[in-house]
Amino acid sequence: MLYAVLCYHHEAEVMGWTKAQDEAVLAKRAKVQQKIAAAGKLGPVARLMPTTAATTVRSGREPVVIDGPFAETKEQLLGFYVVDCASLDEAIGFARELGHGETGALEIRPLRHFETGSRAT
């Protein structure tokens, strides 16, 4: 099963990390990523720009373009991983390891449909 592991956190907090703190988190996560990548189970990984850079298009008869993220929430979606896991337990294990020593939350969502897309990288 393919799972999306969605990374949620307080954006102001994450944006407030020093460069060293940010790099430490990325380096720690990279190790976990490498392991699952080596097993051929890692799909796309993305880190999103802050929600201040977001634009929302609300569909309808007259689609409306709104500045900012879709929802004003306490924690924001800041990035995601797509991983191929044999079971939910394995996906939980991955998320646990990924978020070890951090705050914030990782939501695991099974993928219903997945396309790699046509972009080269």
For other proteins, the binding residues (CB under 8 A) are 10-13, 15-17, 21, 24-25, 49-53, 55, 65-68, 72, 74-75, 101-103
CA distances to 44, 80, 112, 116, 117 from 120, rounded to whole Å, are 12, 19, 23, 10, 9
Q: Give the DSSP H or E segment for 13.
A: helix 11-15
Residue closer to other proteins by CB (options 8, 37) is 8
- 111: which 2 tokens? 């993928």
Strand partners, 82: 4
Closest approach, Cβ 84 to other proteins, in A, equals 28
Nearest to 113 by CA among 54, 49, 43, 62: 43
Residue closer to other proteins by CB (options 64, 120) is 64
Residue closer to other proteins by CB (options 39, 57) is 57
Residue closer to other proteins by CB (options 59, 115) is 59
Closest approach, Cβ 30 to other proteins, in A, equals 15
Closest approach, Cβ 86 to other proteins, in A, equals 30
- 59: which 2 tokens? 């569909």
Q: How many Å from the N-terminal Cα to the C-terminal Cα in the chain?
A: 23
Closest approach, Cβ 65 to other proteins, in A, equals 7
